[in-house]
Structure 1
Amino acid sequence: MRLQLLGSGGFHPNERRHTACWMIPECRVVFDAGTSAFRIAERLESTELQIFLTHAHLDHIAGLTYLLVPMLDGRLERVQVIANESTLAAVQEHLFSDPVFPVEPGFEFVRLESRKSYPLCDGGVVTWCPLPSHPGGSTGFRIDWPASGEIPAKSVAYITDTFVDGTYDSFVTGVDLLIHECYFDDELGAKWAERTGHSFSTQVADLASRVGAGQLVLVHVNPGRSEADPIGLEAMKARFRATEIGEDLMVLQV
């Protein structure tokens, strides 16, 4: 399965990274719709799309407005936006309010809580869990694909905008690929992570090791630092070797 990181930064775009969005084109699914969502249209493999949102902060939803043109010109015919009730309310009442963006693209809004899981291509199943430590809360997602012939079962988890507090360890246990935010390095994280509901280097690496993840890819990194390594990668690898920093347009295989 081919995953594409369209945006790997947090809070605001910088010269190196746009904000949160990643995509599995063949499954017609996107997770979050930050400023990098302008990249969705050229990667579409279907006229239908499901978009799962973690929460309603602007760096995760602003890109929903960018899908208006693909909806109008027919590249997209059906788009489902799936999120918890409070996130959907914020998107509909504020992002698509008349003073902000007066033309709603014609999305179908689906309340996340209406189902315990959502089907994807190739037998994949999306499940979710609440992440309460971020201001306003966030949602973690996991995809599990069953084994097929000689191809083993595979899994991906996406965790962003949260402090690593042990509450979701069981949700990500044994995942093959853990896409996890790492906003701060250890120095800044000691002061700001818990206060802002974000994660820092050591605690993310230790989480990946603790839950037996196969691979750790770091996203939602601090946009105030635009260098290739803003979080201290070598120190993280000493704790969990299979760690890398996500970059915009990175392709991941699961």
Structure 2
Amino acid sequence: MKLRVLGCSGGIGGRHLRTTSFLVDHDILIDAGTGVADLSIAELAAIDHVFLTHAHLDHIASLPLMVDTVADRRRQPLTVYGTAAVLASLQRHIFNWSIWPDFTEIPDREQPLMRYQPLAVQQTVDLDGRRITALPADHTVPAAGYCLDSGAGSLVFSGDTGPCADFWAAVNGIPNLRHLIIECAFSNGEAALATASKHFYPHLLAAELQKLLWPCEIHVTHLKPGKIELTMEEIESSLGDFKPHMLQNNQILDF
């Protein structure tokens, strides 16, 4: 499997700042932040599956426009996966005919442009041998992470989360783990804000990573614009033994 980073910033502003979205192979999206908008129409039309970690705007912003853009190019519904609570938020607050059309009813309910597929935590979807499993997470709204398993290796994405014992228990049950993409939204000086909003900051992330049993590449995502350099300096100071990397737009991870 191959993951291409379309967006990994905690905000927008500037040529390289796109919010969370990863393209897996050519047909799977993990989250649908503003980075999706950089894809061509043909690339958008090739996406058949979207897995959402949660319903916050920076992780779903491109989804409504994407469905509309490729409507005339698709012969099957776009399948959107997430926990029942995440999908309920989309139905209630986005695809509700007030903010955006409900594409699960267009052109009709029997042949819609989009369909929802609820996932329970720890449930696995097999897409032609590519296994995608929802993992526990603890955020201010219902949320999940994901494990992507090619058979040869696995990649885990935490999504937005704070400390979560069940997340680490799940990750430590993945012996072929190669990559861990984990958020760190705030600097140490913003620890109170990070705690209130259930995000990581460098000191907390360093403590949580002590629970990781498998050696793997650590990739840091969701850094806030304007604090990227400061937060990465603190991460490198706090997490030096883990040799963390800052995730970059257009980076490719093979596994």
TM band (smaller chain): 0.7 to 0.9
Equivalenced residues, count:
241
- What is the correspondence of 1:174-253 to structure 2 with a 5 Å cutoff? 174=175, 175-189=177-191, 191-208=192-209, 210-211=211-212, 212-225=214-227, 227=228, 230-232=231-233, 233-241=235-243, 243-253=244-254
Deviation at 1:181, TM superposition (A): 0.7
The equivalent of 1:149 in structure 2 is none
Q: Which runs of 5+ in 1 are unaligned?
A: 147-152
Distance 1:228 1:185, change over 3 A: closer
RMSD of aligned Cα (Å): 2.5
1:99-137 CA distance string (max 9 Å, x none)? 31236372111111399210134x2211112313x1113
Once residues 186 and 87 of structure 2 are traced to their aligned partners in structure 1, the CA distance between those partners, rounded to angstroms, is: 28
Cα displacement (A) at 1:208: 4.1
Distance 2:122 2:217 in 1: 29
How big is each residue's C-alpha offset from its partner over 1:69-124, in whole Å with a ceiling of 9 and x where there is no partner? 44223167431000111211111221122231236372111111399210134x22
Give the whole-Å Cα distance in 2 for the aligned partners of 1:239 and 1:43.
Answer: 42
* CA gap 1:25/1:69 in 2 versus in 1, 3 angstroms: farther
2:122–2:133 Cα contact (<8 Å) kept: no
SS in 2 for 1:81: strand
**TM-score (norm. length: structure 1):** 0.84
* Contact 2:18 2:34 (C-alpha < 8 Å) held by counterparts: yes
Counterpart-to-counterpart distance in 2, 1:171 and 1:115:
8
Aligned: 1:129 with 2:130: no
| Structure 1 partner of 2:9 | 9
Instruction: Tell me if structure 1 keeps the 8 A contact 2:54–2:144.
Output: yes
Q: Taking structure 1 as reference, are residues 188 and 213 closer, same or farther at Cα in structure 2, changes over 3 Å only?
A: farther
Instruction: Indicate the SS of the match to 1:30.
Output: strand
- Show structure 2 runs of 5+ residues with no match: 107-112
Q: CA deviation at 1:229?
A: 6.0
Letter in 1 for 2:9: G
1:117 counterpart letter in structure 2: T
Is the CA contact 1:21–1:60 (under 8 Å) kept in the aligned structure 2? yes
Residues 134-178 of structure 1, C-alpha deviation per residue, up to 9 Å, x if partnerless?
Answer: 1113101112222xxxxxx20010102111243311211242100
Residues 166/213 of structure 1: CA separation in 2 closer, same or farther (3 Å cut): farther
What is the alpha-carbon distance in structure 2 between the residues aligned to residue 115 and residue 183 of structure 1? 25
Q: Which residue of 1 aligns with 2:165?
A: 166
Change (3 A) 1:181 1:23: same
What residue is the counterpart of 1:94 in the other structure? 93
Distance of 1:183 and 1:144 partners within structure 2: 26
Seen in structure 2, the aligned counterparts of structure 1 residues 114 and 193 have a Cα distance that, compared at 3 Å, is closer
Once residues 41 and 222 of structure 2 are traced to their aligned partners in structure 1, the CA distance between those partners, rounded to angstroms, is 23
